């Protein structure tokens, strides 16, 4: 392929534009409203929905949708496949996302967010009155035991936690390495875990995995952490559970309707919120930029990206 035309679905940092420019001409477009009739590669982020309708409107010359991020649930893979468009991601966020899961776990259990808010409001007494939960020695249930789930388990071992996991496939070798225990059913994990961490992919089978029924199966004082994808949780059911006094704490980095966050979630002191910053470290964002460039380079040179998803 000669130098490709690269369409970028939103403004990116200049350093990223400069890196992409080494492969071809770069144009920032809004795919939802304006599409040129020329282009070979579309660069997206998880905030850019790429549904079947948009894919139908893409230039006929588009051969690759290069996503900056590991999650690709915002891209209609079947529609892309039907048009012969490759899709790639940047699976280099494992350690940083696992760090974020542990950050939320600790902050939620120890009520760090509400304590800090009281302190910033010059209310020392209310801050020191916050009693959280001990983390050391608790039972952690990890839903989704891929790279990120396993990285969370490695961190949890430092807190002498009992590690349970649930997923579509049992992983005996990994169990032995991490001292993890497989739960064949989600219900078993929810019933036994003091803390539940969501680290699975979003698909038709996992959407609203945490709902009114599954929330009711958790321990009354359980802690729920989500650094996976927002729609893994039915937020309306979560709000109702919190209103009914269920759950000891919740830590969320992702949301069902992000970037909009349910206002009701902000009313609870036992809910810790962050704005989808699991990969937001200088090192990780640099790795992601390099990885999307590697995907583009291999696509240009060999016709297929390094991290193909479809």
From the candidates 111, 118, 276, 285, give the one annotated as an active-site residue.
276
From the candidates 229, 235, 256, 285, give the one annotated as an active-site residue.
229
95 is catalytic: no
- List of residues 6+ apart from 211 with CB closer than 8 A: 233, 234, 237
Cβ burial of 120 (10 Å; 0-12, 13-18, 19+) is: exposed
The DSSP bridge partners found for residue 198 are 143, 226
Helix (H/G/I), strand (E/B), else coil: 87: strand
276 is catalytic: yes
Cis bond before residue 259 (omega within 30° of 0): yes
The order of strands in the sheet holding 139-143 is 180-182, 162-166, 139-143, 195-198, 223-226, 249-252, 271-273
d(CA 215, CA 225): 13
From the candidates 175, 187, 240, 258, give the one annotated as an active-site residue.
258
Catalytically annotated residues: 229, 258, 276
């Amino acid at each position: 392929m000669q130098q490709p035309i690269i369409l970028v679905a939103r403004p990116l940092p200049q350093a990223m534009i400069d890196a992409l420019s080494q492969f071809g001409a770069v144009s920032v477009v809004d795919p939802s409203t304006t599409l040129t009739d020329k282009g070979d590669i579309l660069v997206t982020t998880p905030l850019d929905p790429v549904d079947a309708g948009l894919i139908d409107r893409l230039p006929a010359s588009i051969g690759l949708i290069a996503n900056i991020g590991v999650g690709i649930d915002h891209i209609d893979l079947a529609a892309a496949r039907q048009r012969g468009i490759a899709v790639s991601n940047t699976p280099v966020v494992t350690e940083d996302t696992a760090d974020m899961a542990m950050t939320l776990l600790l902050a939620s259990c120890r009520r760090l967010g509400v304590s800090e808010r009281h302190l910033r409001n010059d209310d020392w007494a209310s801050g020191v009155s916050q009693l959280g939960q001990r983390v050391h020695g608790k039972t952690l249930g990890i839903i989704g035991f891929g790279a990120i789930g396993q990285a969370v388990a490695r961190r949890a071992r430092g807190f002498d936690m009992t590690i349970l996991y649930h997923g579509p496939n049992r992983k005996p070798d990994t169990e032995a390495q991490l001292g993890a225990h497989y739960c064949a059913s989600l219900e078993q994990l929810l019933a036994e875990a003091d803390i539940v961490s969501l680290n699975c992919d979003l698909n038709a089978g996992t959407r609203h995995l945490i709902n009114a029924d599954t929330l009711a199966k958790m321990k009354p004082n359980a802690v729920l952490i989500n650094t996976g994808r927002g729609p893994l949780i039915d937020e309306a059911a979560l709000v109702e559970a919190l209103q009914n006094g269920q759950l000891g704490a919740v830590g969320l980095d992702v949301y069902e309707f992000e970037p909009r966050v349910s206002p009701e979630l902000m009313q609870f002191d036992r809910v810790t919120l962050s704005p989808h910053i699991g990969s937001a470290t200088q090192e990780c964002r640099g790795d992601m930029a390099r990885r999307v460039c590697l995907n583009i380079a291999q696509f240009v040179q060999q016709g297929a990206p390094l991290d193909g998803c479809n």
